[in-house]
Amino acid sequence: MSIDDAIKGRRSVRTYKSDEIKEGLVRECIEAATFAPSAKNGQQWRFTVLTGESKDKFTDMYRNELGKLTFDVGSSFGSCTMMEEAPVVIVVWNTNERGWTTEVHSVSAAIQNLLLKAHSLGLGTCWIGDIFYTYEAIMDYFKKPWKLLAAITVGWTDVNPGPRPRLSVDEVAEFLN
């Protein structure tokens, strides 16, 4: 797959088949993530891959914690359903060793690599930030010494969502002489 096909063809996929994903494919995606640039080559990314029972326990906890919140949680219940349906959920952590904002950038770059690699393998993914609604509960659940950064759903899919609108180059860039 060409770099343009990967970048422009990737979509957030929110409907998955229940078919299993071989661990080797998930490893390939994570390996691609590890080739991202990182602040001071700190490689601040860490990944917890959830499948089967570990995923079910996590999504049960997440749904339960969302239910306790009394404010608007946006699309969170939809994101929860997505995680319940996807055969693989990857929780992404930032080791945050230095407390630098740039460490967040490193891990975000790794996530983009992961999404692109998954797409090249024919897998659908979605980057999920809605987990931040229950940040403390998730931190408490996993008891990792890192900071939660995102979750990613991964799964085979039948759907092929169209492209979301994008701002043009002229709308987002200025060229100064």
Ligand X SMILES: Cc1cc2nc3c(=O)[nH]c(=O)nc-3n(C[C@H](O)[C@H](O)[C@H](O)COP(=O)(O)O)c2cc1C
3-state secondary structure 68-96: HCCCCCCCHHHHHHHHHHCCEEEEEEECC
- Per CB under 6 A, the segment of 44-52, 63-71, 126-134, 140-148 that binds ligand X is 126-134
Shortest CB 110 distance to ligand X, Å: 13
Binds ligand X by CB under 6 A, chosen from 110, 126, 149, 154: 126
Shortest CB 176 distance to ligand X, Å: 28
Q: Which is nearer to ligand X, 14 or 117 (CB)?
A: 14
Q: Which residue is nearest to ligand X (CB)?
A: 129
Instruction: Give, as ranges, the residues between 65 and 124 that touch ligand X (CB under 6 A).
Output: 75, 79
Packing angle between helix 52-68 and helix 76-85, nearest 10 degrees?
170
- Per CB under 6 A, the segment of 6-14, 31-39, 64-72, 133-141 that binds ligand X is 6-14
The CA dihedral of 28, 55, 97, 27, to the nearest 10 degrees, is: -10
123 and 21 in contact (C-beta within 8 Å)? Answer: yes
Binds ligand X by CB under 6 A, chosen from 32, 128, 138, 149: 128
Residue with tokens 């229950």: 134
Q: Which is nearer to ligand X, 70 or 160 (CB)?
A: 160
Q: Which is nearer to ligand X, 25 or 73 (CB)?
A: 73
CA distance 87 to 18: 6
For 53, the token pair is: 């029972």
Map residues 14-33 to x or -, x wherever contact with ligand X holds by CB under 6 A.
x-------------------
Binds ligand X by CB under 6 A, chosen from 8, 56, 129, 159: 129
61 and 136 in contact (C-beta within 8 Å)? Answer: no
Alpha-carbon Rg for the chain in angstroms: 17
Q: Where along the sequence are the contacts to ligand X (CB under 6 A)?
A: 11-12, 14, 75, 79, 126-130, 164
